[in-house]
Structure 1
């Protein structure tokens, strides 16, 4: 009897990582999930997954900045999904060295482990922020890279390493570049949980940064399916390639707030907080994906509309047990 394939996931305790872990188990995988080592032995969002899911998950504490941790995680894996990263753009202005350590050196450690162990496939996570403000829309994978924050620069550095390992050593890496993912369990460092969290906590005056930028928002379950799609597709379709994952639609932050107010049946007054504004030259004003390459290669398409995803996210955040995990009254960077 053939055992289920083993998927190794870095960043599994996080927002997208925990949803990917669920999706992998649902698709018949065993999962070895790395949560960042901490003195509380916390497994992050993995602790909230149903017991029948966790029965198929081996959770290990480690750190992608440590080569030994990474090699132990990947040993024997059929596919590695590398999601571990520092992602908050405002904090990257304060701690750029940390972003390089995690997003560049951490990625190097994963690539080295894949190469040494002969892991059959690595799915590396990029970000639409590497494109910067759109020069042409929708954004294809051939759009120029224009990193407007230390976070974006660190992610682009990891991307370039992944490309170079495929070119130099034949490392079987595929890069997925999600646009703005949202949904249950997301950090308050992102705009949708910031708004929904404030509304769920009873606030009707919402404090935000710039309302003009537009984004392409993808529901987290669709993003998780995109990871699965490139992780399980035939190698000749995906290995050595970069794929956008997005809906092809865009909405401004201001219009997004209005839509959230509609979904949550709450009249909202929005106030701009200068502390939440990015430096002017660092703000990415427009992002909208062209995911044709991903659809052609794997058949992936988003299943949820923005309004459907917002409704599901709002229901999750308005559960008192979930909302209690968040600090809605402060600016989370």
Structure 2
């Protein structure tokens, strides 16, 4: 598949952080986009509600529940490509509610795979996470690195990935497993570290509450992540493969926090709060991803430096209408 132009593309989880950016970029590719959002009685379409009206008019929005096979069947009917991003992703909440993660992440992915098999869908991309690797046993982490279920969240994503692999091997389903490392940028939820830091700073809080400061992360700007998905969707050689999206650079949470403090409010202090620290055997201490496979398959390379990406993210959060969506004084699990 050399081009996605005029292809009908479904994005599950389109109401979320990465999904909403992906919808916008797919429109730029000339796709006919169907967006699957989580049904709710508020009639909210998540971050798609922030789109300009002229953009939103180009999107066919359907609502449902990824755990419900009927919802998924309706959403997938007539589409050429499925980019499956719908998931529960908060790690701390997975300690409290693991069953909901099994339902959403594993059963939801199974529903997508089963419908793709039934419908003969041309391409399916299943979203993984760098958390499936756990703490790095070697760096950079390539796609051959062992899996470690260091949280119920990561365990369910490992399960979903292996289901996707099984459908490629058992039924020749044209699946690619896409594995983003730590994506950040505008619209990211407060359960992630960068919005946690920025929202506290922009609200004038002087003691910035965080968990462990020593872990390192490979931070990918959201527009680069979305572009990685699109390039993999075009790449026939990626069928049956699992592919990292990573910058192959790392920064510690402590250094990241200090960078943002220096930019926004140098007088603020960083405080480690026990409530925010993961259990010791569950904390992923180091994530540094290899991106050679993605580069060799598609020519992708990160276009946004960490400095540029953080500046754009801070600017977005600094707008009152965006900042008001975040409850900086509450620990969002």
- Taking structure 1 as the reference length, the TM-score comes to 0.97
Say if 2:143 is the partner of 1:141. yes
> d(CA) in 1 for partners of 2:108 and 2:115?
11
What is the aligned counterpart of 2:16 among 14, 17, 39?
Answer: 14
Matched, 1:79 2:91: no
Q: Contact conserved, 2:5 with 2:31, CA < 8 A, in 1?
A: no
**Alpha-carbon contact 1:199-1:266 (below 8 Å) kept:** no
Question: Aligned pair in 2 of structure 1 residues 18, 3: CA closer, same or farther (>3 Å)?
Answer: closer
SS in 2 for 1:154: helix
Question: 2:55, 2:285 → 1: CA distance?
Answer: 39
**Aligned match for 2:162, one of 160, 163, 171:** 160
Inter-partner Cα distance in structure 1 for 2:61 and 2:303: 29
How much has 1:147 moved relative to structure 2?
1.2
Partner residue in 2 for 1:326: 326
Aligned-CA RMSD value: 1.1
Residue aligning to 2:6? 4
Structure 1: which 4+ aligned runs deviate by more than 4 Å? none
Deviation track 1:286-329 (CA, whole Å, cap 9, x = no partner) reads 00010100010001111001111000000000100000111000
- Alpha-carbon distance between aligned partners in 2 of 1:3 and 1:26, rounded to the nearest angstrom: 9
2:47 to 45, 48, 72: 45
Aligned equivalents of 1:8 and 1:220: distance in 2? 19
2:132 is aligned to 130
Alignment: residue pair count = 330
- Superposed counterparts of 1:275-290, under 5 Å: 275-290=275-290
Distance 1:142 1:245 in 2: 14
Residues 232-260 of structure 1: CA deviation (Å, up to 9, x unaligned): 12x1x100000000100000000001111
Is the Cα–Cα contact under 8 Å of residues 211 and 253 in structure 1 kept in the other structure?
A: yes
The residue number in structure 2 matching 1:256 is 256
Deviation string 1:180-235 (CA, Å, 9 cap, x unpaired) is 000000000000000001011111320000000000000000000011011112x1
